Amino acid sequence: MARREKGGFWVGLAAAVFYPLTGIARRVYVGDEKVPRQGPALLVLNHISHLDPVVDAVFVHRAKRVPRFLGKESLTRVPVFGKVFVGSGQIPVSRGSAAAGDSLKAAHQALQEGKIVVIYPEGTITKDPAGWPKESFTGAARLAIQNDVPVIPIARWGTSQLFNGYTKKFTPFPRKTITHSVGDPLDLSAFRGGNTRSASKLREVTKVMMDEVTRLLGEIRHEEPPTAKPGEPT
């Protein structure tokens, strides 16, 4: 049995806060044994609520790993939380600046050091009223094909019912269920050769990843996903 990855003081502090917080909802994990207990991996998830990083962090921690998230650089300046963010090894993203590329460099380094990196290709929570994934950015695809590591699609559902990021409404009762469904590692070997910076290749890899995340989400919801993502032509 794999030992728990050590995270240090700040990860322990975050766990002490996040575990009780996420305990207000029922948690269902499907296929969580597919998250590697050691070694690098890129976890690719949909994004529906500002609570996602909290519940996803607990999900990964329960798999005995320490998650590394890519998060807005502004989070580092939030009192107390900023110290936890930096101290626990999270990766700040400076969007729209010359330093934006540094976040991907840090994520590459984390993977090369055998860490778990968690990424939301959508960048922000979906604006789709039905909660389906929106058109995604290609940063996750860059990480996926420039590093020979397991790329694992995961769908999560239930956090937006608990906290709606657009109405800012927190609804703990009746008690909600938050489900994570983990897919099989994606075979992206065909994309890893040649020009890994090709825009068309990156878009194709992004589609492969998010199509599988969307399929898993449809299984959780017992619904058929839309044929086109919000913002894409039908």
pLDDT digits (tens, 9 = 90+) for 97-126: 555 667 889 999 999 999 999 999 999 999
Q: What's the rounded Cα separation, in Å, for the pair 234 and 227?
A: 7
Least confident window among 81-85, 177-181, 183-187: 81-85
CA 31 to chain centre: 16
Going from the N-terminus, what domains does the chain have, and what CATH number goes with each? 25-221 (3.40.1130.10)
Tell the residue number behind the tokens 């910076």, with chain if given. 197
Supply φ then ψ for residue 120, to 5 degrees.
-110, 100
- Average pLDDT (87-93) is 92
Please, what is the average pLDDT of the chain?
92
CA 167 to chain centre: 22
Element holding 68 (H helix, E strand)? strand 67-72
Q: Is the pLDDT of residue 88 over 70?
A: yes
